[in-house]
A and B are shown apart, each in its own frame.
Chain A
Amino acid sequence: MSQKNQSFSLGRLLLEGRAFLALIVIVAVFSWLSPNYFTLSNFLVMSSHVAIYGILAIGMLLVILTGGIDLSVGSVLAFSGVMAGAMMQGVEVGTSVFYLPVWGVVVLTLALGGLIGAVNGVLVAFFRVPAFVATLGVMYVARGIGLLQTNGLTYNNLAGKPELGNTGFDWLGFNRIEGVPISVIVLVVLAVVFAVTLTRSAFGRWLYATGGNARAADLSGVPVNFVLLTVYTLSGVLSAVAGLVLSSQLTSAGPTAGTTYELTAIAAVVVGGAALSGGRGTVQGTMLGAFVIGFLADGLVIVGVSPYWQTVFTGAVIVLAVLLNSLGSASARGR
């Protein structure tokens, strides 16, 4: 089985990887339009922008593979950033104020993101609320709590103080290892971990089976409810990761951050060839989708296209990429 996959891998990449083709076209066109586009430093900067969407899109992919959708990721991203910002300002217990070390803030923020994701998961898996509705509700609630927390304002002081021992929050967003931004490294690590999980673990197989046919999966002994709960929780955790990266890049945490990011994440997953009906899709495809959308958006900025046109282009590329995919599968059926 694996041998067969390998021998066909190039053909399959071209077939399912129309996103790949789109990416090459985008890079070629912008390199031609602007001398600044095709440089290593620009690619690294653009990649650090893609990291935010890419991390969200991985979580979104997991959810979409089960046939669901998670509309709350943008709000959870903002909520997580705000919570991290609040913790950086110090946690009041009684009359005294505690300052957590940055790693503590990160762990707690990830746990909070996971908790909100778990609420989605419980609603979908155990109360049978349609995923669209459940996560739509949670999207509003998370956004609202973020606004309440800051009273609509933004935390600007995330640097911490050396005497309080909580410096280093900007490490995620600003530092580089061997010239590569940390956020890009985080994205790559997460992508590899989840790609391997999906293809090589029992959990990955359960995920595809749940999305392909939940009833059959259930009767085959797949713990469908556990799978659903886990994917929504993971999506929440990954939203929190994205929230941390974003607020670290901006060195500020605002409750209105990440608005409509859930749609960008969905677009990345869909451009990457996943089926919204569930059961089909890969991390590799989703990453391509995220890079197509990110490189296009940044390219348009670099060549100085009006932001209004950027929106039009992004929309057109999404539809075009998916259109090519459906045309491809239609002709495959015709044969």
Chain B
Amino acid sequence: MSDVVLAARNVAKSYGAVNALKGVNFDIHRGQVTTLFGENGAGKSTLMKILSGVIQPTSGEILLDGAPIAFENATHARDKGISIIHQELSLAPNLSVRDNIFMGREIRTATGVDFAEEARQAQALMAELEQDIDPLTLVGDLRLGQQQIVEIARALSVDSRILIMDEPTSALSASEVEVLFKVIRDLTAKGVSIVYISHHLEEALQITNHAVVLRDGTMTAYAPRRDIDLNWIVRNMVGENYDLGSPPDVTFGPDALTVQGLTLTGAGGFNLVDNLSLSVRKGEIVCIYGLMGAGRTELLETIAGRLRPKSGRVLLEGVEMGGLSIAERIETGLALVPEDRQRDGLVQTMSVGQNLSLASILRFTRGLFTSRRAEREIVESSIRRVTVKTSGPGAAIGSLSGGNQQKVVIGKMMATNPRVLLLDEPSRGIDIGAKAEVFRLLAEGARQGLAVVYSTSEVAECLSIAHRIIVMRKGRIVAEFGPDVAKEEIMAASGEAKAA
């Protein structure tokens, strides 16, 4: 046991009646990567917060180098050499890369802050991460992936013995992930221990030395890397069939959505969506695959009416959508489930029921007032339809797990009875069980004649329920495949480096 630097023994954490963790044992080995697998709500983040001192366990103990220790707060844990990269970015967008990296730990001299030294170190960190980012750039001007790099650089700058990474790659491109993995290997070679959490199972398998699987707050499996494979992880995570489904057997109807020559110009003057044409038939499921920045989000938001195109037409069952507002498009049957459910999907101050009924509110308004009974019917049938796990329609939206929150956003748009449903990365940040349920829901919709368009950045998700796979690159459609295509072909078409 001498190589275990930090260990959790029988750690439990409960919030009121909810047991987030039920007596978990967890070892972190010196100079190795331990990956924690588990669905949303399995207790991964809770365990990591306990290990990094952010919260205190209800019972159980933490052993640092074999001796029991009780972290008072995150600073205490950091002083002991434990730092964490949180899933949500915690950067100040109004400050530069340099200032963010040294926030709260400024290098001081007698006369103030030694900005030159800070800039030099920040530059060195960027070089280590193979990023060409000027340390004086404002973080707000960086794209999401680069911001994540800055977050990582900040954690690296502390010289921790134990580094916890909670979903560090969710916004990174394939080549940036490669660089991160190189950095992780360098760190472990120096004796730094890494705890890694990711929903990208295959990616995590490339880097990890040990795998630990959590389910419902208990540890269900532990094994060193050499003894396991992808199926082993998924089996232990889900404990049941995890098939993402296959294209539903439907006869396509006439064209539901038609896009002709759509062009959207970005702030820089170049085209985010470049003269793109596409048509989707009733009952058809189309997957749009592409890397970050390929224009998927922009395409879907333009179709939904959020962004105004420079030219081109959008038709719903032959009816021009051009001049219509978002509300009018929803009314006509064109709905979008946005990519970022926290920012664009949910109203955090409202209950689960109010969120579910928000888009369809005029359907249960009689005269001046909403009909409570009609609303309850819509909400309850939505909860059943999209199988939201909640204590009731009055529950706070924040009390749901990520997957269930996503189902609420989908249920909200489904309640408007759309004819075309657009979903931007519907599987982002949700676990494999919830993914399967979301895809089952879409397949069910297609069987009833709904036209579905969803985007994704995971090839495996294209090869599930989609009848047709479209690959986007630089605002254009560069390839179109049937459901039997090989993963490598899709990735090669998208320009993904590792597919070459």
Contacts and interface: CB of A to CB of B under 8 A. Distances in A.
B361 to A, nearest CB: 5
Interface string A204-231: 0110110111011111111100000000
Interface residues of B, number: 41
Interface residues of A, number: 29
A200 B370 CA distance: 5
A219 B329 CA distance: 10
A212 B370 contact: no
A216 B412 CA distance: 11
B346 A213 contact: yes
B135 interface: no
A209 B331 contact: no
A5 B358 contact: no
Contacts of B359: 220-221
Given A202-B370, A335-B16, A216 B361 contact: no
A4 interface: yes
Contact of A209 (B306, B327, B358): B358
Nearest to B331: A221
Contact of B358 (A201, A222, A275): A222
Contacts of A213: 343-344, 346-349
B336 interface: yes
Nearest to A335: B16
B376 interface: yes
Contacts of B379: 1
Contacts of B376: 1
Interface string B119-162: 00000000000000000000000000000000000000000000
Interface in B462-483: none
A279 B329 CA distance: 25
Given A1-B376, A200-B369, A218-B306, A208 B347 contact: yes
B392 A216 contact: no
A221 B353 CA distance: 17
B368 interface: yes
A108 B129 CA distance: 67
A212 B306 CA distance: 19
Interface string A269-281: 0000001001110
B370 A205 contact: yes
A175 B387 CA distance: 59
A212 B394 contact: no
A4 B392 contact: yes
Contacts of B306: 218-219
Nearest to A197: B368
B485 interface: no
Interface in B322-348: 325-327, 329-331, 336, 338, 343-348
The 7 closest A-B pairs by CB, nearest first: A279-B349, A212-B347, A212-B349, A221-B327, A220-B359, A221-B330, A213-B347
Given A208-B347, A221-B330, 6 more contacts: A201-B368, A211-B349, A213-B344, A216-B338, A220-B330, A279-B348
